[in-house]
Amino acid sequence: MNFAFLLDPLDSLKIYKDSSYAIMRAAAARGHRLFAIQQEDVVLRDGRAAALAAELTLAAGEPRWYRLEDKTETSLARFDAVLMRKDPPFDQEYLYSTYLLEQAEKEGARVFNRPRAIRDYNEKLAVSNFPAFAVPTLVTRQAALIGEFLAAENDMILKPLDAMGGSGVFRVRQGDPNTNVIIETLTQLGRSTIMAQRYIPEIAQGDKRILLIDGEPAPYALARIPKAGETRGNLAAGGKGVAQPLSARDREIAAAVGPWARAHGLLLTGLDVIGDYLTEINVTSPTGIVEIAAQTPCDAAEMMIDALERLC
């Protein structure tokens, strides 16, 4: 099969931990052809969606980890699957990419994750679809409402709606003298909507990443444990990744979210679970595949290729 990957610039990928690279490597090992597309390579010409795609060969041991052929303008519908793996932030250009990929779907392209679902389900806000598994949450840009939320909960997490890797996440406790300036900064003086969630002490045991592949959970989660003196467990913020079998509660959450993810064309979904609570549903470019495979018999990249071969 021919698989096209819409990625960040190839030289920016850290292949020792990159989930997209792991998926490409698993696909290449089975003899599938790989093609690389950058965000700016996707075009709409006379109402038809295409991309300037370059065939990609993995080249371990060479100065670069890849070799690229010349770019050729190709209809996206000609690939067996197009994998949207561009990292956030979900900015205006990301939005435009979903529009172009949705047009490609109308022409017969198979795009994973589906562009409409990526666009419709913000990774922070998507938990509102599963209130039974969520902590008390407030989404607003009004400082007074955030202050009332803090007074009720005593300890909260504030985070922007469009960032990744723990960027812009603050823990605020009742009586913190920096509360007002944190709220002002995150909301840009009331111009940007943010999320407040009750602080979950079980973060000390890790912010678990559960991978759903075509709605089915991988049997191991990656618990991202904060370093000393840090609230965030994100690996990008210095957290330590420890793979562990899913708990009964993890499986309960996965069983609830899985059918929803499958129905919306979310082939690879990353659930973030702290303690007993679902805190985020990652739909853009979920990670954790490499760390789990390094510590357990579970290879989610192989599971991904199994799903792609089955669906395509």
Annotated catalytic residue 280: yes
| β-bridge partners, 6 | 37, 84
In the chain the beta strands, taken as DSSP E runs, fall at 2-7, 33-38, 42-45, 48-58, 66-68, 72-75, 81-84, 111-112, 137-140, 155-160, 170-173, 194-198, 207-213, 216-217, 220-225, 240-245, 268-274, 277-282
Supply 32's token pair.
């599938």
- Residue for token digits 């696909």? 27
Annotated catalytic residue 207: no
Annotated catalytic residue 234: no
Do 39 and 95 meet the contact criterion of CB atoms below 8 Å apart?
no
Do 195 and 158 meet the contact criterion of CB atoms below 8 Å apart?
yes
Catalytic pick among 110, 159, 198, 208: 159
Alpha carbons 112 and 83: distance in angstroms, whole number = 5
Alpha carbons 106 and 53: distance in angstroms, whole number = 19
| β-bridge partners, 22 | none
- Residue for token digits 């812009």? 168
Catalytic pick among 85, 86, 124, 208: 124
Annotated catalytic residue 251: no
Residue 88: exposure state from Cβ atoms within 10 A (0-12, 13-18, ≥19): middle
The helix (H) or strand (E) run that includes residue 92 is helix 92-106
Annotated catalytic residue 45: no
Alpha carbons 224 and 234: distance in angstroms, whole number = 6
Catalytic pick among 113, 224, 250, 291: 224
Annotated catalytic residue 154: no
Catalytic pick among 105, 153, 272, 291: 272
Annotated catalytic residue 209: yes
Annotated catalytic residue 249: no
Residues recognised as catalytic = 124, 159, 209, 224, 232, 272, 280, 282
